[in-house]
């Protein structure tokens, strides 16, 4: 187990950046129908401001924060497993109850609060990742990269399928079924019909009961998420284990190494993502090229940027600094902040709350992000000055350990 100060300087700060970044990535999915997530042209021609907002999100944030969070999940999981063994406990008896309760939280989140949950997915993949926890660092890296490579292969096949669908639907004597298959695919990648746009907007602005019914009927399928990104998630979790074992994620490497990795990886990654964005914009956000850009071309580049971001955060974090301390506190309460942002944003956007769904532009959504970030940074540290865990962290820990955990006492000086 690492000391509190070390965790604040590395794992907690990285986790804090990741949970804040995830909100920036997800905000379009809160404020618009799900088909608008990948394309700013899904509901009409985007303005210059919206295109700039989309481009900045695509290059800097999207996918990278989810990947960074997955890496941190793997590292934290290994911390708990190693800690259990160090105390003479059976690692599996500690790990699997944690995953089971995380799955319960995830199911509540995905069906009753917001469709874009990642916790249930993490719980399932985390059970598989346990099998690899005793492997040495090099094998963890190798197998982790193999799973990421499997995701790349899958994405290439999916892109081929998309282009074939379009070619079949565009043939002179295309059948009604071929046209319907293409339209069904296109609707998922930013090319819905006007009828579908109207339907989705009405659901988002409707009652809570309508939204829950929509999730249960045709919006939420945890199995499809496993198929879509399960290999990549598992790969990142294993790389997170390797990052902990190697000392990379806890700041044990030299400053020169971190700085070099940060400059090279972030520089190359941003250049590559900018080129990919150019492809998508250049093809007018055609659904085929949306898939090609977001999934096929971006997937092999993403690990480079995740590595670069982790190194950059470690280089830039200043232990004891005001911002570092605030971000670290947000990281230590990441579970509470993640669910909390869903509660805030769904109340703000959906019809049973303020009802801003579909009313703000894509660029305006980032004003909401900034306000919520301020809230995250504002509450997390004062809470941890008084309590050992965030509210949901405490509840998760208590349920997984079958007893209520002590809550009073500053988390800053309390070891996990």
**Closest among 103, 269, 285 to 186, alpha carbons compared:** 285
Nearest to 244 by CA among 19, 76, 415, 4: 76
Q: List Cβ neighbours of 388 (8 Å cut-off, separation of 6 or more).
A: 394, 405, 406, 407, 408, 409, 410, 411, 414
- The predicted pLDDT at position 7 comes to 46
Average pLDDT over residues 349-374: 97
The mean per-residue pLDDT over the stretch 228-251 comes to 96
257 band by pLDDT with thresholds 50, 70 and 90: very high
Band (pLDDT 50/70/90 cuts) for residue 22 is: very high
pLDDT in tens, 366-380: 999 999 999 999 999
Q: Model's pTM, two decimal places?
A: 0.93
User: Average pLDDT for residues 277-282, to the nearest whole number?
Assistant: 95
- Cα angle, residue 243 at apex, residues 241 and 246 outer, rounded to 5°: 105
pLDDT at residue 146 in the model: 98
pLDDT at residue 139 is higher than 60: yes
pLDDT of residue 199: 92
Look up residue 42 and give its two tokens. Answer: 């899904």
Residues pairing with 387 in the sheet: 408
Question: In sequence order, what are the residues at sequence separation of 6 or more whose Cβ sits closer than 8 angstroms to the Cβ of residue 395?
Answer: none
Average pLDDT, the chain: 93
Please determine, for residue 288, whether its predicted confidence score (pLDDT) is greater than 90: yes
**Mean predicted confidence (pLDDT) in 324-336:** 95
Residue whose tokens read 């700085």: 259
What are the CA-CA distances from residue 15 to residues 8, 21, 45, 117, 276 (Å)?
10, 10, 36, 17, 27
**Does 3 score more than 90 pLDDT?**
no
pLDDT score for 412? 63
Q: Is the pLDDT of residue 144 over 90?
A: yes
The more confident residue out of 191 and 312 is 312
CA–CA separation, 199 and 190 (whole Å): 15
Q: Is 80 exceeded by the pLDDT of residue 294?
A: yes
Confidence of residue 247 (pLDDT cuts 50, 70, 90): very high
- pLDDT score at 172: 87
Please say if the pLDDT value at position 87 is more than 50.
Answer: yes
pLDDT at 403 over 70: yes
**Which of 133-147, 173-187, 299-313 shows the lowest mean pLDDT across its residues?**
173-187
pLDDT band at 413 (very low <50, low <70, confident <90, very high): low
Which has the minimum average pLDDT: 211-225, 266-280, 291-305? 211-225
State yes or no: pLDDT of 1 exceeds 60.
Answer: no
pLDDT in tens, 379-389: 999 999 999 99
> Can you give the pLDDT at residue 5?
38
Q: How confident is the model at residue 4 (pLDDT cuts 50, 70, 90)?
A: very low
Separation CA 328–CA 381 (nearest Å): 8
Predicted pLDDT of residue 173? 86
pLDDT the model gives residue 269: 98
**pLDDT-derived band of residue 219, with 50, 70 and 90 as boundaries?**
confident
Domain boundaries, the chain: 4-413
């Amino acid at each position: 187990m690492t000391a509190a100060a070390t965790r604040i300087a590395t794992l907690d700060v990285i986790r804090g950046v990741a949970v804040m970044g995830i909100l920036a990535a997800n905000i379009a999915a809160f404020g618009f129908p799900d088909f608008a997530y990948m394309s700013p042209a899904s509901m009409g021609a985007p303005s210059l401001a919206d295109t700039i907002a989309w481009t900045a999100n695509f290059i800097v944030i999207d996918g990278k924060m989810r990947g960074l969070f997955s890496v941190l999940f793997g590292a934290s999981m290994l911390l708990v497993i190693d800690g259990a063994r160090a105390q003479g406990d059976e690692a599996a008896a500690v790990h699997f109850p944690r995953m089971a309760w995380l799955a319960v939280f995830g199911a509540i989140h995905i069906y009753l609060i917001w469709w874009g949950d990642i916790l249930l997915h993490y719980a399932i993949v985390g059970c598989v990742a346990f099998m690899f926890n005793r492997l040495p660092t090099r094998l963890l890296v190798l197998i982790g990269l193999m799973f990421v490579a499997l995701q790349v292969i899958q994405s290439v096949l999916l892109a081929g399928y998309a282009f074939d669908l379009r070619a079949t639907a565009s043939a002179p004597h295309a059948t009604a079924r071929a046209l319907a298959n293409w339209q069904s695919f296109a609707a998922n990648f930013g090319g819905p019909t006007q009828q579908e746009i109207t339907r989705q907007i009405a659901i988002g602005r409707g009652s809570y009961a309508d939204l829950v019914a929509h999730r249960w009927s045709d919006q939420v399928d945890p199995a499809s998420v496993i198929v879509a990104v399960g290999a990549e998630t598992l790969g990142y979790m294993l790389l997170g284990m390797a990052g902990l074992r190697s000392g990379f994620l806890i700041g044990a490497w030299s400053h020169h190494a971190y700085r070099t990795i940060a400059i090279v990886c972030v520089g190359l990654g941003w250049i590559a993502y900018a080129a990919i964005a150019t492809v998508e914009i250049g093809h007018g956000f055609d659904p085929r090229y949306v898939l090609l850009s977001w999934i096929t071309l971006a997937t092999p580049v993403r690990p480079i940027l995740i590595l670069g971001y982790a190194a950059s955060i470690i280089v830039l974090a200043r232990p004891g600094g005001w911002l570092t301390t605030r971000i670290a506190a947000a990281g230590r309460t990441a579970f509470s902040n993640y669910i909390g942002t869903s509660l805030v944003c769904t109340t703000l956007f959906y019809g049973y709350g303020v009802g801003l769904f579909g009313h703000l532009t894509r660029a305006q959504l980032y004003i909401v992000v900034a306000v919520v970030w301020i809230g995250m940074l504002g509450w997390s540290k004062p809470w941890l000055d008084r309590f050992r865990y965030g509210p949901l962290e405490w509840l998760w820990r208590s349920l997984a350990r079958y007893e209520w955990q002590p809550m009073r006492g500053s988390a800053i000086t309390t070891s996990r």
